[in-house]
Structure 1
Amino acid sequence: MATQKKHLSSGKNLLIKTNPLYRLPARFYLYQFCWLLLLAMVFTWLSRNEGLDRLLTGYWYDSASHRFPWKQNALLDLINHRLLKDVVIAGGIIGLLYGLISRQPRLITVALLFGVGALAIGILKATSHHSCPWDLVEYGGKAISYPLFGHVPDGSGPGRCFPGGHASSGFAVMALFFLFYRERPTLAWCCFTGGAALGLIMGYGQVMRGAHFFSHNLWAGWWVWLTQVVVYGIVSTLLVKESQKS
């Protein structure tokens, strides 16, 4: 009997080491989808109202020269548009490689979540008819703007500017929530908050350059978190069930 218990204990420890993924309760997903639905309504109103977008973008636009003075700012481009993005991407790649080498499914999953959100944003941007502020007539360009979910006008320009792609790199850090939530929920929520803040900061840098409206970045965060929650829920459910069978 003692030998049998020892074998069971060893098997349980091996399972924990080789498959540390965990399933979140249904109420977690219910709460997240309720909050996402509420935020979607708020963000839709902000996007269609356009007051906040115009206010923030107008602050960085020079009507006298008909341009965004910070568009070609070398320091802003280097730190915000290049270094921060590269650091996040490098962190995701390092996490993925370390997870594969050490056989940590949870770390592998979280590292993949870094890219899942960016992929979703990339697909949405590729099919969007909304042009960037610096392309719009009111900011010295030639494209015509229109509200979210509105009729696409002739001359809408090059498009491919909604949601904010650059901000999605910062929002990707929210995936670290799933790495720590089971053992250290406070740290997990700090990672979520930090990722949201980083995404907003990186996105606002693009607002300063005239590359995006602020609402574009809010929607980027919304889509990244939705994608991460859904993908983690599916992957963790499938892999945990599989490990229990074995």
Structure 2
Amino acid sequence: MQTFVRHRFYWLNFGIPLLCAAVVFLAFDLTRIDIAFSNLFYDPVSQTFPIGKMQLFEKITHKWPRIIPNWTGEVAIIGALLSFLWGCVNAHKYPKFAAFLEKIKLAPALRFTARHRRDFLFVVFAFSLSTGVIHYLKSHTSVYCPVETTQYAGKIEHKDWYENFDLFNTAGEGRCWPGGHASGGFTMLALYFVARRYRWRHAKAVLYGSLALGMIYGTTRVFQGWHYMSHTFWAGIFIWLTCLLTALAFYGRARLDQPLRQTTVGVEDSAGGARVSAG
């Protein structure tokens, strides 16, 4: 039974994204679906993506949304640093200092960060590794964005990522595959694994919210001509795998595979006052 549960965890968490990768490769990279979708937002008369010229749209969908992953990463870094600070506070050796921290209400926050040090460090590492993976893939595939290619009045010939891929060397100047902006949204998947560690009943909401955020980030860039739709899918696949491997290193499979806690509601039986649980 334990072997089945372990294999089921790996089949779901690795199998589904790898299956998605195969589908994206066959359905998008080997066809012209990407171009057909981008054509819907391209004006051949002006030879531009009209939405890409809207400054307000650019701010709302590209610049402002960066706040979410940026602030999350910054909070994780601060939390990780503070978690080590609490370890230096010895209440027996420095009772006045400890009392001062209690008085200004800083001690509870420091205790919280110390208690969740592994989680803060996990988020820091997951964000850093995800960013590193995306930057590696960008520089080693040298894919140019649609607006930079001759397909859309640019100067560079369009090539798919597998045509340029170089494992050890920089492939060229292109930096469009996978989607960088989409990956910023998908990095919030790290919070899902923290929620899974604690079996939080709303963990799936964090999962779906992170996926939706990445898709929104990526799709709006497609509207502007700065990415193809498949770039968003690839970003999500690579970020998921990176966060999953990092979570396995920090927490282990057994902890991540525990069932989520359910809400227990006490209901009094009208006859005998017995309580039953609904979850």
Question: TM-score, with normalisation over the residues of structure 1?
Answer: 0.78
Could you say which residue in structure 2 is the equivalent of 1:184?
199
Larger relative contact order (Cα-Cα within 8 Å, sequence gap ≥ 6)? 1
How far off its partner does 1:61 sit?
Answer: 0.7
Q: Does 2:93 correspond to 1:112? A: no
Q: State whether structure 2 residue 24 is matched by structure 1 residue 46.
A: no
Task: Indicate the residue corresponding to 1:31 in structure 2.
Answer: 12
1:112-191 equivalent positions in 2, closer than 5 A? 112-150=125-163, 158-191=173-206
| Structure with the greater alpha carbon radius of gyration | 2
- CA drift at 1:86: 2.2
Q: Where do residues 167-246 of structure 1 align in structure 2 (5 Å cutoff)?
A: 167-237=182-252
| Partners of 2:158 and 2:49 in 1: CA distance | 17
The equivalent of 1:243 in structure 2 is none
Task: Report the aligned-residue RMSD.
Answer: 2.5
Q: Is the 8 A contact 1:107 1:179 kept in 2?
A: no
Cα pair 1:110 1:178 within 8 Å, conserved = no
1:56 Cα shift? 2.0
Aligned AA for 1:144? E
Deviation at 1:74, TM superposition (A): 1.0
Q: Deviations over 1:79-102 (max 9, x none)?
A: 221111122211221133124422
Cα distance, 1:137 vs structure 2: 0.7
Q: Which runs of 5 or more structure 1 residues have no equivalent in the other structure?
A: 1-23, 241-246
Q: Measure how far apart 1:112 and its partner are.
A: 3.1
Residue 227 of structure 1 aligns with an amino acid whose one-letter code is T
Counterpart amino acid of residue 59 in structure 2: L
Alignment match, 2:260: none
What corresponds to 1:67 in structure 2?
Answer: 48
Distance in structure 2 (CA, Å) of the matches to 1:114 and 1:151:
26
| TM-superposition CA deviations, 1:105-143 (whole Å, max 9, x none) | 123312432332122111111222221100111201121
User: Which is helix-richer, 1 or 2?
Assistant: 1
Residues in 1 aligned to 2:142 and 2:226: alpha-carbon distance in whole angstroms: 15
Give me the whole-angstrom Cα distance separating, in 1, the residues matched to 2:123 and 2:164: 38
CA separation in 2, counterparts of 1:100 and 1:26?
Answer: 36
- Matches of 1:149 and 1:122, distance apart in 2: 16
Give % identity: 30
Q: Measure, in 2, the Cα distance between the counterparts of 1:129 and 1:226.
A: 22
The answer to which of 72-81 and 36-45 deviates more is 72-81
1:204, distance to aligned residue in structure 2 (A): 0.8
* Aligned residue pair count: 213
Check the 8 A contact 2:27/2:33 in 1, yes or no.
yes
Q: Give the SS at the match of 1:210.
A: coil
SS in 2 for 1:149: helix
Letter in 2 for 1:159: G
User: Is the Cα contact below 8 Å between 2:146 and 2:226 reproduced in 1?
Assistant: yes
